[in-house]
Structure 1
Amino acid sequence: MQGSSDGPGRRGAWGVIAVVLLVGVHLVRGGAGEWPSDGPPQPATAAAAGRAAALGGATAAPLPASPPVRVRVPSVRIDAPVTRVGLDAEGWIEAPAPDDRNLAGWYTGAVTPGERGTAVVVGHVDVPGGGRAVFYDLGALAPGKRVEIARGDGRTAVFTVYGVEVVPKDGFPAARVYGTTGAPELRLITCGGRYSPAGGYEGNVVVSARLTEVR
């Protein structure tokens, strides 16, 4: 699935799909057998059923473009700087450096958080050699909780979570996860689902949230 084979119009979309695979590669290398049997928290069935309709009309007006500098999710103790991640020479998106366990990555091929469209922020669940990484607790997030993105323009885009789910890496539902709904939205993504030493994590935890406040 190389972006270059799909033409310039789809290069960014394929790049985003690639990031979840790249994160998975790092996790496989990062240490089979290092984690306790229960692993990182996974979304509850009820949480995975959330939909944007649950927010009703509670949507803030879109913001102009401004890159994110920090992501905070108080309910699951996430507070991390955000770096920019793009595509490498082969058309694959680059994941955040695995040697920094508290670093998230904003994919620059998508909109900035708060703009109209779907922004994408990714992070590792663990790091090479074992140990929790920035999005280890992402699967414990529940609908109705807040995600705060501090932006370079000094404003903070506050998103309300409406969906938390595990999706398979095989047959990843890219159109649904990354598609634009017409509102300013955010996706937080890390690895999740069943883990095996040979194949790593089978899926991805995907958090869907909509802009509801600007501070």
Structure 2
Amino acid sequence: MRPAAAGAVLGLALAIGVPTAWSLTRPPAAVGASVEQALPAPASPTAEGPAIPTRDAAPAPVADAPAPVRLQVPALGVDTAVDAVGVAPDGQMAIPDDVARVGWYRFGPAPGENGSAVIAGHVDDREQGLGVLAPLREAAVGQEVTVTAADGTTTRWRVVSRELISKQVLPVDRLFSRAGPPRLTLITCGGPFLPELGSYRDNVVVIAEPLP
């Protein structure tokens, strides 16, 4: 499906510093469908026994579809450049250091292709302040997301799910699925800041489905 390393996505929220004021107010932990309902289910067991998830030993080829270059969520004030990213040396999904930019996992689907297109970014940084995806914690069902590709085409999406999920139990196989109908998956950090780890405990995961 993707390099196994991508399964560690979600240390991506290495907030390099102290929690900022946004974490002091708590929106509901989830709205809309759960992430597991909004994304494709794992393969069903067969007569030979339960299906065993498998992962390619090497990254899948870069998608043929044009790469996304801009992400906009007007209701949340999100308007940011998107960089194509891969896997960091520590085995996690690479994320741009600049908290004003986000990364698209280039070894997975591009927005509009079958499966889950993953775009992620830091929630904050000690020196840079809040990240551009910090408002995801306020995402509401029905809000529109627009993704612009390198060739100038745009795809429009509708939020169907927002959920705060512990990094320890993220449904990684669903988040990075290459199967099923097109979905857009947006991820940043959330929940309480854990000083002993230097990062946040949870991830904010927003799922959107394509608009006609």
Report sequence identity in percent: 34
Aligned to 1:184: 182
CA contact (8 A) 1:19 1:95 kept: no
More displaced 10-residue stretch of structure 1: 146-155 or 167-176:
167-176
**Matches for 1:63-212 after TM superposition, within 5 Å:** 65-89=65-89, 91-97=91-97, 100-129=98-127, 131-180=129-178, 182-199=180-197, 200-212=199-211
Provide structure 1 residue ranges, at least 5 long, that are not aligned to the other structure: 1-8, 54-63
1:175 aligned counterpart, secondary structure = helix
> What is the TM-score of this pair, normalised by structure 2?
0.77
List per-residue Cα deviations over 1:154-174 (Å, max 9, x = no partner).
211111111000111112211
Moved over 3 A (4+): 37-53, 88-92
CA contact (8 A) 2:68 2:147 kept: yes
CA distance in 1, matches of 2:149, 2:10: 24
Corresponding residue pairs, total: 186
List per-residue Cα deviations over 1:112-158 (Å, max 9, x = no partner).
11112110000111023361111111110101111100011221111
- Look up the equivalent residue of 2:121 and give its one-letter code: G
2:147 aligned counterpart, secondary structure = strand
> What is the TM-score of this pair, normalised by structure 1?
0.76
Q: Which of 24, 29, 35 is matched with 2:13 structurally?
A: 24
CA distance in 2, matches of 1:148, 1:52: 18
CA distance in 1, matches of 2:93, 2:142: 30
Structure with a larger share of its residues in helix: 1
CA RMSD of aligned residues (A): 2.5
